[in-house]
Amino acid sequence: MQKLTYGLIGAVLSTSAYSVLAKDKLPALNLDTQHITVSGLSSGGYMATQYHIANSDKVVGAAMIASGPYYCAQNDIGIALGQCVNKVDAPIDVKALSAQAQQWADSGAIAPLEGLKNSQVWMLHGTADTRVNSAVNNALYAQYQQWVPGTQLTYVNDQPFAHVFPTLEQGGSCTDSASPYIGQCEYDAAGELLNALLGELNAPDDELTGSVVSLDQQAIAGDNASTLGDTAYAYIPADCAAGEACRIHVSFHGCNQYADAVKMAYVEQTGLNQWADDNQIVVLYPQTKKSLLMPMNPQGCWDWWGYTGDQYATKNGPQLKAVDALISHLATH
């Protein structure tokens, strides 16, 4: 199986610019866990959509870069590779995928789809992206059009970006889909998506007041974290650490961007922390790991095709439940 189709994205390690607090140093936080926002790149974009759709009763905004519609892979890696990444062998049946979502909503496996009408949604696909076909991202947009009012839906698809997380000046080339897959695009995707999801925010200054804390995913989420890495990270601004009311944003990395592979690259370089620091937002960065045995996940992707079981896209999906546990831990520690 080819690396560039199975593994949606990679990254390289970066030099840490943050202090990382030990797991036992987590401050008491006053978090709003009923108005969560999420974002993700590539396989992380798929995960952001899954978490949003499954939990639209508490997720009020989702931002996806270079990904496709909810349940695109239909619990089948063959469909995933044939329709949901860099090629579309047959047209994506968005209505059928959405019908499955409705069935799960009716059974209570995901939140009622009516809740999505209260969401803000932002998505981006670069015109130079050859890793995820534009038709795949267009299908995601078409799917959300069924559920979210047009005034709350933003689709940026006219920028000459490759398969990268666009930033003002971090990462590598913006026009080459190469590590670290964070591109110097003179475009602040972090600011664009957070402002779209949360309303007009304070522009970030040059100083970071907060710290990155580490979270023991195995201890916090138990068996639901069996396909995840040992450690997740969260950026906590000083105001939040002092107990002020704060929102929470969850950012999902792409394949080959998990911390064991890239150290702190994704945690540090997207620009999310800079915006969070001046707007009382805690940013959670859960982490996957690679697996060369069953379940097969050699690139450390988030599960958007079913390697954790057929409930992966619902509230019963182990990875979604693990993220729930991490959020709860941050809020109640």
Known catalytic residues? 42, 129, 163
**Which DSSP string corresponds to 38-53?**
EEEETHHHHHHHHHHH
pLDDT value of residue 20? 52
Between strands 120-124 and 153-156, the pairing is parallel
Q: How many CB atoms lie within 10 A of CB 211?
A: 17
Tokens, residue 311: 């409930």
Which residue in this structure is represented by tokens 């979210």? 148
d(CA 157, CA 97): 23
Question: What does the pLDDT look like over 210-220, one tens digit per residue?
Answer: 999 999 999 99
Q: What is the mean pLDDT of residues 115-129?
A: 97
Which carries the bigger pLDDT value, residue 97 or residue 206? 97
Q: How many CA atoms lie within 13 A of 274 on its CB side?
A: 19
Question: What does the pLDDT look like over 250-304, one tens digit per residue?
Answer: 999 999 889 988 789 899 999 999 999 999 999 999 999 999 999 999 999 999 9
Which residue in this structure is represented by tokens 């002020």? 244
Question: What does the pLDDT look like over 17-66, one tens digit per residue?
Answer: 455 554 457 899 999 999 999 999 999 999 999 999 999 999 999 999 99
pLDDT value of residue 1? 27
Percent of the chain with pLDDT over 70: 93
Q: What angle do CA 109, 114, 281 make, to 5 degrees?
A: 85
d(CA 132, CA 108): 31
**Which DSSP string corresponds to 272-333?**
HHHHHHTTTEEEEE--B--BSSSSPBTT----SSSTT-TTTTSTT-HHHHHHHHHHHHHHH-
pLDDT value of residue 299? 92
**Position 223 pLDDT exceeds 50:** yes
- Please classify residue 216 by burial: count the beta carbons closer than 10 Å to its beta carbon, then call 0-12 exposed, 13-18 middle and 19+ buried: middle
pLDDT value of residue 123? 98
Q: What is the mean pLDDT of residues 148-172?
A: 96
Cα separations (Å) of 19 from 26, 210, 211, 229, 283?
13, 9, 6, 20, 15
Question: What does the pLDDT look like over 75-114, one tens digit per residue?
Answer: 999 999 999 999 998 899 999 999 999 999 999 999 999 9
- Candidates 145, 181, 140, 173; CA nearest to 157 is 140
**Position 179 pLDDT exceeds 80:** no
Q: What is the mean pLDDT of the chain?
A: 92
CB within 8 A of 205, min separation 6: which ones?
278
**Position 315 pLDDT exceeds 90:** yes
d(CA 51, CA 53): 6
pLDDT value of residue 333? 79
d(CA 283, CA 59): 14
Give the chain's end-to-end CA distance (angstroms, integer).
42
